[in-house]
Amino acid sequence: LTISIIGVPMDHGQNRRGVDMGPSAIRYAGVVDRIEELGHTVTDEGDIQIGQADGSVDTSTNLRNLKAITEATETLGDKVFEVAQAGNFPLVLGGDHSIAIGTLAGISERHENLGVIWYDAHADMNTSDTSPSGNIHGMPLAASFGHGHEKLTNIRGYSPKVKPENIVIIGARSVDPGERELIKEHGIRVYSMHEIDKMGMHAVIEESIQYLKEERKTDAVHLSLDLDGIDPMYTPGVGTPVPGGISYRESHLAMEMLYDADIITSAEFVEVNPILDEKNKTADVAVALIGSLFGEKLL
């Protein structure tokens, strides 16, 4: 496999500074060596250029930093499309989760029936009408199936990027009222912490793979992993931590099973904020999980 790393030093999708340093923190934690040791080839494509923004929420749209985010996600989408078109595996490093709008815009154009695994404490399915914060990092999944401000749903000139029935959310434990409605309306598959506790991560991933592969017959699957999906005791360096999360071991099992199923065709690791972290713990976890996702085994 040739893996192309794309850094996205974006912090405009929320209101805590520092998550723009996520790509540096993850590189510092040794992501390139970790993947190369597994026998893969890595090309580091560097970082996407992010413009300035003043951090205010526009009162007419309820969106914070819309212009800077649409510009950056257009650029990211083009870059992701380009590396995927060259036959490489796009590995995007955030940055806040708003960047998923760009990643999916670049990925989905090449596929008829893309699947998405959204590993997160949150559903990220708010729209400008339902968002309690105006923060676009709470909206990328809704935007990906055509809900929300037209500027966000239409990155790279098409919409939707993914069918709602091709989405699997894993780890949810903080969902807003408007998100709950969208989940119900579209029958989106959610393995919340309740299901993870009850079924165990092994069954959750087995079912997810079966669902996306056999039932939905997806032709590619994107993994969008928000580090806040994992319990903050393991990943404290995130802007919106929620207690009661997925464990370190469960997360490794999930990544190992996804590798064994040979199902993931692109991935992003987001919301690493080294300013809020303890040493570089959260980036270290991201790199360890990336190792498992690309085939690291004990023996």
Per CB under 6 A, residues contacting ligand ARG are 97, 122, 124, 126, 131-133, 135, 137-138, 176, 226, 228, 240, 271
* Residue 131 interaction partner, one of ligand ARG, Mn ion, none, beta carbon < 5-8 Å per kind: ligand ARG
122 classed as catalytic: yes
Residue 192 CB, shortest distance to ligand ARG, in Å, is 14
* Residue 173 interaction partner, one of ligand ARG, Mn ion, none, beta carbon < 5-8 Å per kind: none
| C-beta of 240 vs 292, nearer to ligand ARG | 240
47 classed as catalytic: no
Residue 185 CB, shortest distance to Mn ion, in Å, is 6
Cβ(105)–Cβ(155) below 8 Å: yes
Residue 122 CB, shortest distance to Mn ion, in Å, is 4
* Residue 79 interaction partner, one of Mn ion, ligand ARG, none, beta carbon < 5-8 Å per kind: none
124 classed as catalytic: yes
Alpha-carbon span 222 to 184, nearest angstrom:
22
Q: Summarize as ranges the residues that interact with Mn ion (CB under 5 A).
A: 97, 120-122, 124, 226, 228
97 classed as catalytic: yes
Residue 204 CB, shortest distance to ligand ARG, in Å, is 20
| C-beta of 29 vs 182, nearer to Mn ion | 182
228 classed as catalytic: yes
* Residue 138 interaction partner, one of Mn ion, ligand ARG, none, beta carbon < 5-8 Å per kind: ligand ARG
Q: Which residue is nearest to ligand ARG (CB)?
A: 138
* Residue 75 interaction partner, one of Mn ion, ligand ARG, none, beta carbon < 5-8 Å per kind: none
* Residue 281 interaction partner, one of ligand ARG, Mn ion, none, beta carbon < 5-8 Å per kind: none
Q: Each residue of 139-163: b (16+ CB within 10 Å) or e?
A: bbbbbbbebbbebbbbbbeebbbbb
| C-beta of 65 vs 88, nearer to ligand ARG | 65
Reduced 3-state DSSP string for the chain:
CEEEEEEECCCCCCCCCCHHHHHHHHHHCCHHHHHHCCCCEEEEEEECCCCCCCCCEECCCCEECHHHHHHHHHHHHHHHHHHHHCCCEEEEEECCHHHHHHHHHHHHCCCCCEEEEEECCECCCCCCCCCCCCCHHHCHHHHHCCCCCHHHHCHHHCCCCCCHHHEEEEEECECCHHHHHHHHHHCCEEEEHHHHHHHCHHHHHHHHHHHHHHHCCCCEEEEEEEHHHECCCCCCCCCCCCCCCECHHHHHHHHHHHHHHCCEEEEEEECCCCCCCCCCHHHHHHHHHHHHHCCCCCC
Residue 245 CB, shortest distance to ligand ARG, in Å, is 12
Phi, psi torsion values for 47, nearest 5 degrees: -105, 150
| C-beta of 120 vs 296, nearer to ligand ARG | 120
Active-site annotation holder among 226, 250, 268, 284 = 226
Residue 195 CB, shortest distance to Mn ion, in Å, is 17
Please give the single-letter amino acid code of residue 194: H
Active-site annotation holder among 74, 195, 271, 277 = 271
Identify the residue whose tokens are 């065709």: 265
Which residues are part of the catalytic machinery? 97, 120, 122, 124, 137, 226, 228, 271
